[in-house]
Structures are given as C-alpha cells and as structure tokens.
Amino acid sequence: MLIRRPHDIKPSEITDRKLYINRRTLIASAGFAAGAAAVGLPVQPREARAAPLASVPSPLSTAEAPTPKNKITTYNNFYEFGTDKGDPAENAGSLKTSPWSVAVEGECAKPATYTLEDIMKGETLEDRVYRHRCVEAWSMVIPWVGFPLANLLKRVEPTGNAKYVAFETLYDPKQMPGQRSSDLTWPYMEGLRMDEAMHPLTLLAVGLYGETLPNQDGAPIRLVVPWKYGFKGIKSIVKIRFQAEQPKTAWNIAAPGEYGFYSNVNPNRDHPRWTQKKERRIDGNSRLGTMIETAMFNGYGDQVASLYSGMDLQKDF
Amino acid sequence: MNRRARDRWIYRAVWLGCFLPIPLLTWWFYNDELGANPAKEGLHYLGEWGLRFLALGLAITPLRKLPGCGWLLRFRRTIGLFAVSYIALHLIVYVALDQGFDWAEIWRDIVKRPYITFGMLAFLLLLPLAATSTNAMIRRLGARRWRSLHKLVYVIAPLGVLHYDLLVKKDASWPHFYAVVIAFLLGYRVVDAIRVRMARRTRASFQQPRLVQ
C-alpha cells in the first residue's frame, strides 16, 4: 500500500522569489550601510524602499508602451516637495509613509480612521496601464498598481447625501518642506463627483511598475483619474470625506480661471495660457519625446463621456 | 605681453564665458541630464540666459561709472549681441520643438496669449538694435540717433520679465527677482537723468547774468 506522505514544505511556506530577492538586496544594502558608517562614509538617509506587489493584469490597461520608470520618478509635480519637476525626487525622502492611515469622514455609515493595511485588506491589486495627461501639455503612459476607488467607497457605505467625495493630502511642513511656501493652500485638496469617484477607471494606486509607489509619485496611496488632468490625482492621501457640496480644490482656489473643478482632458478648451490640442508624450522612443494630438477625455471617452451628457464642458471645465 | 595682446585675451575670455551655456546645454542633453522633458528645459534655459544677458547689458552703464571700471563699456556690445542670440535660440526652440512648426497655432499663440505677445514683441524690438550694432551703422546713424534708438532696450527688458512672469504657473520668485534687478537698473537711469537735468539747470542759472550782459 502506498501511503502518501505529505510534502515537507507547504506551498504557503515557499517564499515568493520576488520577496527573497528583495530581502537579499535589503540585507546586502544594510551590510553596506553599516560598513560605510564604520569607515565614516556618508550614508544615504533611510527611505522607504520599493517593495514588490502582487497584482493581476486588467483589461482596462492600454496597450501603449509605458514611459520608462526613471522618467516617471524624476519628473513630478508635487509642490509639497518643491516647484521644480526634479524637486520631488530629490526631497521626498523626508516623507514617512509607514505607518499610514486615512480618515474617512462625512456622509457614510462607517466613518473611521483606517490604517493603510485595513484599506488594502481583501483588495486584489491590478496592473492598470493608463495614459497620464498633465495640464501642462505633457503626458506619459504609467503602469500603476492599485484597486478601484469604488471598492473602498462601497465598503464604508456612503449615505444618500453623499454627492461628492473630497480628498486631502498630508499636511506636515516638517515632512513636506514645500508647504512652508504659500504657492498653494495647504493641505492639497481635490474632489470628485460621486459618479466619477465610483467609475471603474478611477483608481487608488499604491504602486508603480510592480512595486510600491516611490514617495515622489504620491506614496503610499494616491488617486488616479485617467480622463482628467494629472493634478486631479491627489497624492499621499490622508482624508476622504463624503459631502453634499462640491469640494474646494487646491488649483481652483489658486487660479479659478485656469483650473476648473472637473478638469477633464479637453483638446477643445485651451488653458488660458497655452493650447491643449496637443501634448508631448514623454516616452522611451526619443529623448525629446513625441508630439501627439490630445484626445477628448484623454482617449477614455467611450467609458466616461456619458457622465457628462448634457453638460457644457466649455463652462464646466 | 603688451596692452593690446592682453586686451585681446580678456576679450576672448569674456566671449567664451558668454558662450559657455551652449556647450553646457549640449553636454547635458547628450548625457540625458535635462530630465524627462529636455525640450521644455532647453526652452526655459535659453530664455533665462537671454534675460540674464539683457540685465547684464543694462548693468554696464551704471557699473562703468565706478572708479576704475570704465573698461567695461567695451563689452556692452558683445553682451547685447549674446542677449539677442540667446533669445533667438529660445524662439527657435519654441517654434521647432514646442510648436513643431505649426504656424497657425503659433499665430494663435501670438494673438491670444499675452505672454507670447509680449515675448514676440520684445524679440522684434531687439532686431533693429542687433542690426545697428556695427561701427559702420553707428557712424551712419550718428551717435545721437543711435543712442536714442538703443534706448528701446528700456522697453525690451521689462517686456522680457513680463513674458516670464505671466508664464509661470505658480511660484514666480525668479521672475520677481529679475523684475527687481531690472527695475533697479532702470530706476538708476531715471535718478541719474534727473540729477543731470538739475545740474544743467543750476549751471544755466549761473550763466544767466552773462546772457543779459
């Protein structure tokens, strides 16, 4: 009689390759850091190291070639760390992303402060390769990792009075030195109409290129709304509030004539100071990128145009 | 080394110093050190150097009056021509890389967007100054007319600052810095002109008795 012996090693005990590779580099770099400190070499300040994320592909991804990672992580508008595109990559090391929690407030059945782990619990992370169109007329293709915002919103059960969702970024000038200047009103604020927030394309991103978000790209959790200009994608979120009134938004307060609440990508409505008809796609093809025509709703019109039927998008820009 | 040879070397050094931003930009571009959007970076870089040279050119007139600084005047033309050159390159990058030779769109930009209108106007006003920069042209125009023509730079420099200030999205600290520098340099001229006029009037009142004689 053949008695099947159970396997010595259960599948659950096998370490994922990505994880142990990462562990090795961590140990190696820790050793290097200790050695460097011993001989008096400057040691880089500790930053949250990118950790691999398990994710599944999504049919909502574009097939366009993603922008190289080093461009996505060195060309950022994140005024909390400075107004130059290179500032966030240089300065965002001071942001502490763990522990992290998000306060959920307002018109919902389960308002509370949730830890990042609570928020991600039970969520299947997806690879969402989205076009990203900045209001400054440049664009990228970004392979985000995240889950639909709708999943989180449904879990906290918004009430009938919840017409809009307001978001806030962390306010802490010690960690975010740019907040000492008055370039914008702090904390950074954004908002969506409820139907926009619940749309399947609307993403809470926690990663980029298969790893946790670099700080300069909005770690540990940020919003991605691919049919709107990039500044709607609020970074490093600490507050989500359901409310009946349209939320105030940071750029709209700064320049109401230039940045509307909706800020849908719209080649037919110019920014007062430049055209929105075309964009420079920052890509891996050439150093200068490629000039392309901008598409209505950033090419997501089939999925989202119905949200705005009957609205005058020249007026509600 | 005789004096002429020394002057020639000083002149070459100044010229090289003024030219240096170009090889630097080229070097950074080929080493991929201009960030993810080198076209924008180069555009702003050239425009800012144009503005710096305008300010530098305006600084020479007051500076040369300081004791021992009279020799500075020799470099004013070089600096002015470098200002025009950087601004011309700035314009070329805008037309070629920013707009991709889309002339219709460029025209719309000029008509619709004040910062482009001011920038373009500043460039057009610079052209007659560049064209009359040779010794032969100074002789043909006569020093007096030449000098009044070149006072156009008092309009051009503020237009350049305005162009810069209107363009930035937020954090206008650099445009404001240039605004202060240029306001100071132009303000100096106003004060100086008033002083000269008052001195002349005083002199005139001294001369009056002789006139009625």
Contacts of residue A291 in chain B, CB cutoff 8 Å? Answer: 100
Question: pLDDT tens digits, chain A, 317 residues: what are they?
Answer: 455 554 444 444 444 444 444 444 444 444 444 444 444 444 444 445 789 999 999 999 999 999 999 999 999 999 999 999 999 999 999 999 999 999 999 999 999 999 999 999 999 999 999 999 999 999 999 999 999 999 999 999 999 999 999 999 999 999 999 999 888 999 999 999 999 999 999 999 999 999 999 999 999 999 999 999 999 999 999 999 999 999 999 999 999 999 999 999 999 999 988 999 999 999 998 899 999 999 999 999 999 999 999 999 999 99
When scoring B32, B34, B40, B41 by the number of chain A Cβ atoms within 10 A, the one with the most, hence best to mutate, is: B40
Mean pLDDT of the B187-208 span: 84
Identify the pLDDT of residue A12. 46
Evaluate if residue B171 carries a pLDDT over 80. Answer: no
Q: What confidence tier does B67 reach under pLDDT thresholds 50, 70, 90?
A: confident
What is the spatial distance between Cα A197 and Cα A241, in angstroms, rounded to a whole number?
A: 12
CB-based contact (8 Å) between B154 and chain A? no
Q: Give the range of the structural domain holding residue B134, as residue numbers without chain letter.
A: 3-207
CA distances from A37 to A42, A43, A44, B196 (A): 7, 6, 10, 66
pLDDT value of residue A17: 45
- Give the Å distances, CA to CA, from A243 to A169, A186, A197, A240, B154: 17, 20, 13, 10, 54
Binning pLDDT at 50, 70 and 90, where does residue B189 land?
very high
How does pLDDT run across B5-54, given as a tens digit for each residue? 888 898 899 999 999 999 999 999 999 889 899 999 999 999 999 999 99
pLDDT value for A211:
97
What total number of domains does chain B contain?
1
Of the pLDDT bands very low, low, confident and very high (cuts 50, 70, 90), residue B72 is confident
Is the predicted pLDDT of residue B129 greater than 50, yes or no?
yes
Record: contact B37-A75, CB cut-off 8 A: yes
Q: How far apart are CA A218 and CA A78, in angstroms?
A: 8
Check residue A182 and give its pLDDT.
84
Give contacts of B42 with chain A, Cβ < 8 Å: none
Would you call B38 exposed, middle or buried from its count of C-beta atoms within 10 A (0-12, 13-18, 19+)? buried
Q: Is residue B22 part of a domain?
A: yes
Residue B212: inside a domain: no
Q: What is the pLDDT of residue A3?
A: 54
Q: What is the pLDDT of residue A6?
A: 46
pTM: 0.82
Which site among B37, B44, B98, B108 would you substitute to test the A interface, given the most A Cβ atoms closer than 10 Å to its Cβ?
Answer: B37
Q: Output phi, psi for A204, to 5 deg.
A: -100, 110
Per-residue pLDDT at B148 exceeds 80: yes
Class for the domain spanning A56-132+142-247: alpha beta
B115 touches A: beta carbon within 8 Å: yes
Q: Which tokens is A291 given?
A: 């000039």
User: Of B150, B116, B118, which Cα lies nearest the Cα of B134?
Assistant: B150
What are the residue ranges spanned by the domains of chain A? 56-132+142-247
Q: How confident is the model at residue B206 (pLDDT cuts 50, 70, 90)?
A: low
Within 8 A of B29 by CB-CB distance, chain A residues are 287
Does the beta-carbon distance from A86 to B35 stay under 8 Å?
A: yes
Is B37 in contact with A183 (Cβ distance < 8 A)? Answer: no
Task: Pick the closest to residue A86 from A96, A77, A94 (CA basis).
Answer: A77
pLDDT at residue B1 in the model: 66
Give the residues across from A169 on adjacent strands.
A237
Query: For residue B74, what is the DSSP state?
Result: G
